[in-house]
Amino acid sequence: MTSLLIIALLSLPGLMFFHSAIARFFAPSDLCGAGGMRQERIRSTPNWRNEGGRYDTVFVQTGSEDGIMKGMTIGRARLLFSFVSGGARYPCALVEWLTPDAETDDDTGLWVVKARVCALP
């Protein structure tokens, strides 16, 4: 994380950091929950079981359901935090975006991803 980002984060009022969060979502293909509702814990912690960091992979709906990823963008949860503004608390996530290769892995059928590189001006 760049020092400028750290300074900007630390200046937010009511700043709180979290090592996990619960995501609740509708999964129409899995009706095991109450009417297809599911929940998953997302972890973003620098120390997982004394063996280094754990930064879970997430799918974020960013577009229409067209295209190879059906409107989903892949990312890695790097930091979970919240801050207060105008009396309301805002939950946030710093996400490292990942880019899928053009094809899936031959053995597993899963998408191979790599970190998206952005050049700073």
> Which of 35 and 38 is assigned the larger pLDDT?
38
DSSP structure string for 46-83: S-STTSS-EE-EEEEE-S-S-TTTTTEEEEEEEEEEEE
**For the CA atoms of 1, 22, 90, 2, what is the dihedral angle to 10 degrees?**
0
Average pLDDT, the chain: 83
pLDDT (tens digit, 9 = 90+) per residue, 40-51?
999 999 999 999
Quote the pLDDT of residue 21: 94
pTM to 2 decimal places = 0.74
